[in-house]
Structure 1
Amino acid sequence: MPVTSSDLENLGKSSLDDYLRNTAVDQISTDTPLLKKLMEKKKKLVGAKQNVTVNIRKSLDSNFAWAYGEAPVSFNKRNTLEHAAFPWRRAVDGFYIAHDTLFANGIRVKEGQSGQHKLEENERVQLCNLLDEQTQAFRTGFMEKLSMELHRDGTANADAITGLDALVSLTPATGVVGGIDRSTATYWRNNVKTAIASTTAGTLATAMEGEWRKCIRNGGSPDFILAGSAFIDAYRQYGVTVTNNANAGSIKRVDAGIGSGTSTGLFFKGVEIIWDPQFETLDAIESPSIPWEKRCYFINTKHMELHDDDMDVVTPTRPYNILALYQMVNVRMAVVMKRANAHSVLTIA
Structure 2
Amino acid sequence: MASFTIEKRNKANGDIRYRCKVRLKKSGVIIHTESQTFSKKELATNWGKLRCEALDNGTPYSTQTVSLGALLNLYYENHSLWENTGRTKRYVIMMLMDCDISRINCNELKTSDIIEHCLNRKNAGTSPATIYHDIAYLRSVMKKAKPVWNITANHQVFEEAVPILIEMQLIGKSQQRTRRPTRVEIENLKSGLQRRMAYRPNGHCRIPYIDILDFSILSCMRIGEVCSLRWEDLNIKHKTILVRDRKDPRKKTGNHLVVPLLGGAFDIVMRQPQDDELIFPYNSRSVTAGFQRVRNQLGISDLRYHDLRREGASRLFEKGYSIEEVAQVTGHRNLNILWQVYTQLFPHKLHEKEQQKYSSQI
Fold match (TM-score > 0.5): no
TM-score bracket relative to the smaller structure: under 0.3
Higher helix share: 2
Flag the structure with more relative contact order, 1 or 2, with Cα contacts below 8 A and sequence separation at least 6.
1
Higher strand share: 1
